[in-house]
Structure 1
């Protein structure tokens, strides 16, 4: 087997001396053992190099020269029979508040599978905030089904990449997972696409948090369109860092109100912060803090002890993005129990306790009966190149915001 078809972990496991080649030629993250363990087992060499626009032939030459220099070079074909690195069966890319509680339950369930059915499932769960383990940049370069884990849990736009969709989703690599009970509120919002290969577990939702003291005489906004009024100029904070702002917010405003609405939103937003930073500044005594913060419902509920804070669930719906699961068709029988567990009542309650509305009604006890959700829609996702659209909309937003500064 050629080096190009091996994973990073297979290459480094069999030829430890090659690690320096990776670290000093575009992949410094592989100096970290934890990153190598989590990303290395699923990332093939050819895919990694494509993502960095590095010459495949030149890089392979570097690897072979390194192996020869240390006297450990041997026939590459012999590697095809070696299994020195474990294959990663499942990857979960989760919002921060959901990572720890969901990972705890996954650990228990996976251990139960090992003991009861001797089904071994190697997996890793990562938060989107992880800096070094960044699966997103490699997804569009995956070409072979064996590069993709058997089970994927995600809450981002990356897996809606048109190349990933055309290669692995539309071709039936992943199964359609049926639903049992479905909460009517998420059904009405269109979060459930029964024809989709993405089985929705729950939703990450964004609400408005208003400091009425800092708001002063201005009216408390009741819906998202209110934020486009000139009276809220520079009164809003959304998630953002280093010129990249919250795509959920941007895309919903772009879909509803076009470029003019996006420009008005840019006028309303003073700056971007991580939700944890929003909570910190709202609890501070600083007088220059904007009065309206758009943040996940989880973080909003850490401020309920503040008498000056109002959590606004907008009349037109909290902005929602699905947490969904993909399971390979050929492995569906093997992982049927896992699929049922992820879409069942227990995980629903775990999600609900983390303030993530769940598709299964068991996790919806803490949410308002009349709660509405605002989701872009599966048709919108299918009709657009989401990676391109996210970049385009963010660029427009940043351009408009900088003009206002």
Structure 2
């Protein structure tokens, strides 16, 4: 069994987010709250189940069954797929993928697709430890500017022309035409948009913020919650603000920081005046409540969900690439997760809404990894002022 009774609850949830629903159904509350999750590091599964008088052996089986099976092969010829999937759509995506593999038994694959809440560190470690292309996974799916553009990470392989956009999509969805990589190396399946959630009760006599420039104004200092724990989205925000407003803009963003909260906490009425969050979490707003979702007028800053595939494994990967970039997956991420799809056949619920994207010209003419590190220093300086 992958889950042991002496594992703490936080460890289980982070490693196997599929277990959350089982835990909730058996009386475990507050699992969307970061404070609660921190506390769960102090209690083992066995201790928690004893308190609730739940049979440990039976519950272990129940949790194990909820995880599902990642296909693990010893065959050295198996292609490898690694990545992170957005939490709200990971389960339906995995189900579709497993059905796809069942119908395509000729595909010899080993894959590990964790929930985005697991963070990028394990992925980065794999990339750092891959000293040559053969040791690197054949395919990656994830958001993350630093992972894909950092010269010490994917950059060291990209410089040698290791990757290729294998999708047959010649032009992305009409809302995202300029997201298509002109060099044909990176591909995408969708984007994570960042919007504002404003607490009207805490706004006072200040005007409703409708733009990123408003967020940076002095009247909203110490009034904003930012998704700092969501590294890929936070980095996208930093880089976009830096491109548009320079060092002063990043410093002002730091000044605006009131707190860093998990999106599930942000929607409560006890949160800050403004919360910057993935569009998906706007679903949690209570009707007629104090919170209102604002799509920034100059565009929601986006963190693309990238797909990176080895050029020398085109024949083995093509079916998987077509599936992952297809209309069926596009509809899942767009309609269930509110992560707009780049597939031109998908009708996104965010159709017509503007986005902020740093652009490929900017990516290819700058060291994005260095820019992120620079922005982090300036942002920290702003938080201390």
Band the TM-score falls in, shorter-chain normalisation: 0.7 to 0.9
Return the alpha-carbon distance in structure 1 between the equivalents of residues 243 and 369 of structure 2: 15
Return the alpha-carbon distance in structure 2 between the equivalents of residues 182 and 383 of structure 1: 23
CA deviation after TM superposition for structure 1 residue 84, in Å: 7.9
The residue that corresponds to 1:102 in the other structure is 93
**Aligned residue-pair number:** 314
Instruction: Give the match's secondary structure for 1:273.
Output: coil
**Counterpart check, 1:344 vs 2:326:** yes
Return the alpha-carbon distance in structure 2 between the equivalents of residues 242 and 191 of structure 1: 22
CA deviation after TM superposition for structure 1 residue 270, in Å: 0.9
User: Which ranges in structure 2 are unaligned for 5 or more consecutive residues?
Assistant: 1-10, 16-73
CA deviation after TM superposition for structure 1 residue 392, in Å: 2.0
Return the alpha-carbon distance in structure 2 between the equivalents of residues 193 and 243 of structure 1: 22
**Counterpart check, 1:179 vs 2:169:** yes
Return the alpha-carbon distance in structure 1 between the equivalents of residues 196 and 285 of structure 2: 12
CA deviation after TM superposition for structure 1 residue 102, in Å: 2.1
Return the alpha-carbon distance in structure 2 between the equivalents of residues 305 and 143 of structure 1: 52
User: Which ranges in structure 1 are unaligned for 5 or more consecutive residues?
Assistant: 1-30, 36-82
For residue 149 of structure 2, the aligned residue among 141, 160, 163 is: 160
Instruction: Give the match's secondary structure for 1:203.
Output: strand
- CA offsets per residue over residues 320-368 of structure 1, 9 Å max, x none? 1111212222221222121111111111101102100111133334124
Please show how residues 40-189 of structure 1 align to structure 2 within 5 Å: 89-114=80-105, 118-130=106-118, 134-157=122-145, 158-177=147-166, 178-180=168-170, 182-187=172-177
TM-score normalised by the chain length of structure 1: 0.71
The residue that corresponds to 1:25 in the other structure is none
Q: Is the 8 A contact 1:240 1:271 kept in 2?
A: no
Structure 1 residues 309 and 339: CA distance shift in structure 2, 3 A = same
Return the alpha-carbon distance in structure 2 between the equivalents of residues 209 and 124 of structure 1: 33
The residue that corresponds to 2:273 in the other structure is 291
Please show how residues 189-338 of structure 1 align to structure 2 within 5 Å: 190-241=178-229, 246-279=234-267, 282=268, 284=269, 286=270, 289-303=271-285, 305-338=287-320
**Counterpart check, 1:399 vs 2:344:** no
Return the alpha-carbon distance in structure 1 between the equivalents of residues 379 and 231 of structure 2: 10
Larger Rg: 1
Structure 1 residues 361 and 307: CA distance shift in structure 2, 3 A = farther
Instruction: Give the match's secondary structure for 2:276.
Output: strand
